[in-house]
Amino acid sequence: MATKAAHKRLTREYATLQKNPVEYVQAAPAESNILEWHYVLTGPPQTSYTDGQYWGTLTFPPNYPFAPPAIRMHTPSGRFRCSERLCLSISDFHPKSFNPAWEVSTILLGVLSFMTSEEMTTGSISASEGERKAFAARSRWWNSTGGGSTSRTLEKSSLGSNSKGFGAIQAGDGGKRFREQFPELDAENWRWMEREGVDPQTGRKSVAAGEGSPSCTPEIDGLRRRGTEGSNAGLAQVVENGQAARDAGQGWLARNKLYLIAGALFAYAVMARLLSDQQPS
């Protein structure tokens, strides 16, 4: 239970955030517990996280602001392990370095700053730029469906019958906690899925009417957009894998056509030589 001082401080900070919003940051306490805050960070432009929607929690100690919160991020990002405590100078890993003057906005801006760096710590992971862009592309789908564990469907769907897409994560709460904390964002996310034709269960993206491109998951679509900006090892691997998949889909004759032609020519040359040797001189 929060002390009177902690309750007063967090109530004031919430009022300040509502009155003076911080760019790329949204945060609010849970209705049932003012020590449990939920936040959403929006990926800043010109980063690997552009337009990504990253949901996490701050768990404050009862004696806040004289001790820091535990910091977690739940949305897959390619930067942090999902739902694990992060070891930062502003987190509960380092209570002695925490400054009581720091507020919720300061803490979350610190998380965002660390996220866009390449420094490693407990709870962080390493990933390529392409992988992080792919996670950003599917973040809204992941938040509002619990990673595909929702039973909700789109009202107007032109999706195919394949229900085993790349993002078919069959675990979680179906987006219930995210929806409870951020109902407006959740509604926006579902409108986005409706508009883009993203299957809530699989994350697969359908082909819109009149478009000729094949369907793809949000994360693969992110890698496709990445391909227009430059090449990297991750994208090269995707291209190689795609070529291998196309080759595997061709028939045996098509794949071995050149070998068959070469073999026929060799056999013809051998037969011609044998016939020539058998003729009387």
CA angle 231, 234, 236 (to 5 degrees): 55
- What DSSP line would sit under 85-96, residue for residue? PP--TTSTT-GG
Ramachandran angles phi, psi of 227, nearest 5°:
-65, -25
* CA 227, 235, 81, 79 torsion-angle sign: negative
Instruction: State the Cα–Cα distance between residues 138 and 157, nearest whole angstrom.
Output: 18
With beta carbons less than 8 A apart as the criterion, state whether 68 and 107 touch.
yes
* Residue type at position 109: L
With beta carbons less than 8 A apart as the criterion, state whether 166 and 115 touch.
no
Q: What is the dihedral of CA 100, 53, 200, 81, to 10 degrees?
A: -60
CB atoms within 10 A of CB 268: 10
- For residue 138, how far is the Cα from the chain centroid? 5
Burial status of residue 79 (CB atoms within 10 A of its CB: 0-12, 13-18, 19 or more): buried
With beta carbons less than 8 A apart as the criterion, state whether 219 and 134 touch.
yes
Query: Catalytic site residues?
Result: 87
CA angle 21, 98, 45 (to 5 degrees): 40
